[in-house]
Structure 1
Amino acid sequence: MTGHAAPKVRSPSVSARPNSRKLTALGRVGAGLGVSAVAFYLSGRGADWTAIPGYIGRADWLLIAAGAAVLLVSLGLFAARWRALIPEPAVLPTRRAFSCLMVGYLVNTVLPLRLGDAARLGLASRRCGLGLSLLAGALAVERLMDLAILAAAGVGLGLVMTTPRLLGSGLVFVLGLALAGLAALWVLALTGDWLDHAKVGAGRGRRAVAAAWAGRQLAGFQQGLWALRGPARVGQAGGLSALAWVGIALATGLWTRAFGLPVPWYGVVLLVVAVNLGAILPSAPAGVGIYHLAVILVLTTWVADRELALAYAVSSHGVNSALNIVAGLGCLLAEGAAGPASPSGAAQCSRNPG
């Protein structure tokens, strides 16, 4: 005997076992890229791409810059709405809410898998000591509120223009889902304290620990729905949402005028609805392809020149993406310059309540 231990041989079945999470993520990335590629092909099919730079060069870039400024104000209103949805005594200053929001948009613009919301909630939790489940509750209200506003705007367009029956029925269905979701969250917000349910699961054993953890997460999520308990906060959040979406429509209208597109006001609203509801579909980062196809499908109603419509789609998407990247990087650098988060994070936010 040599005294040397025999080397351990790793089981082939274990070492070769695929990582299901990685495969799922890769599948989602592949699906998004595939959908974007098909959508981009359909949007540019039959177009003369050599004519597009000329249209972009002749656009009124002062109007485009004005639209970008209005869009930035709308994003600030979204940040103020997020702050309004956070339950007291928790503190999420509007300035920090804006920073977290823009970092989320940055992540969605440059990375796959739509991880922007996760980045946004994680940064807010780290900086202000707020629970992720609480932030997720407020985010759920926010998302359903946006979905309801967009779907309602689309349904309302049926009063001033002729829309395909399938589109109208789809928008009514989406509106119903959004309102049903908000109603479900409202019922959950008014139910008893789920912390009591978390205490019921206290005890020994894995099941008891898991039940207690789930109860605490549900309690935090329920706390994030507190704005639904009273009409004042709901009205404030709804008003900020409406103002923000009006600003986005105004920015879109300025951009269509910059390219001389003969699109009426209700066409601009339809453009906003189509682009933002289209973002629900899986796609490459920044919604490449899906955005362009949504724009083309809407603009072909009023614009016969496909190259001009594509020039608008490419430019507006580029300006929007550039705004997300520049503002997001600026906010990310500002958060980094603020130094590491405190153990609770709340001290940094309470010193800057505005």
Structure 2
Amino acid sequence: MSEREGFFVGDLLTDCYVFEGDGTRPILEENVKVLYEPGLRRVSLPLEVQRWRQAIQAEEERRQAAGEPYRWNNPRFALENIVLSRTDEDEAPVVQLSLCDADYFDFLATSVNLDTPLREGEPATLRTQYLENTDPVTAPAFLSCSFGVNVAVTTGPDRQMVFARRSATVAGHNTERWNSSVNEGLAAIHDVPEDGSPISLHAVARRALREELSVQDEDAVELELLAFALDLRNHQWAAFYRAVLPELTADDLARRRSRGVEDKWEHDQFRFVPADPDSVLDFLLEEGRVWTPCGPALFYLALVREAVLARGGNRSGLLDVEAAERRAMARRASRQTA
């Protein structure tokens, strides 16, 4: 089993480990350092994983040639290391990410095959060999060939929180599960600045908003980085953002999506839920709703941040969310016994 604990929402224990951040204060953009030198290092795959990757590439090429739906490869990154620190003056969080080159087929060969036997007839898997009974935070880079930016979105004028369900078209284990409002994986073709400046996770979050909700660069967005987390089930790292759209309503977003967005195919359902803690927690804990490992934690921390701001910055606002959580649990228990 993993040495890191999952995240509780009510009695729902998720496979999400929050590595840094609790929602009470943002992690400032200038305190996130992304170290990456294009072409300097490429992720190294074990021999067994190389074979899986070759098989994936051959199958996708066959599908493309046959006119069947296929997955395309694109350059990505592997996370070599994540380091936490604090500023000298006020001990604000500082996070440093070290990346090397990888691609989408590397990701498919690892994340999708965590429980596939490494050798026929033997029980050893990537999970048992590299993730169980050890600290997954220190797992080798080849297991971390994807880094996601997940955003919890709230509309400003009508105070609606946005929930999205991933479509069956998306590869991996999170298909047809409810997830963050928008999410994107770091991609070299999109996220490495041409001027040589460092990769910006805030810029990736804005790209996610544009590609999946058609929130344009000129639209006003209040954006805060709340946490870094690790999906323990699929071993995928993520940054958690909260975004408030002060000038856009739920109807505005629905109309924009109806006219087409860049990555519309990635989601098959959206829900707009009143952004108060009771309504959001009822939605998170609704019986039968299937979530990605980190979706509930993201929205919970977004609620905490909103509650702290409502108290004028008092971090005890998280107690207001805990109280709403207890009320949501009581309502669910009442429905189950009715």
Bin of the TM-score, shorter chain as denominator length: under 0.3
Q: TM-score, normalised by structure 2?
A: 0.24
Report the TM-score, using the length of structure 1 for normalisation: 0.24
- CA radius of gyration, larger in: 1
Considering Cα pairs closer than 8 Å and 6+ residues apart, tell me whether 1 or 2 has the greater RCO.
Answer: 1
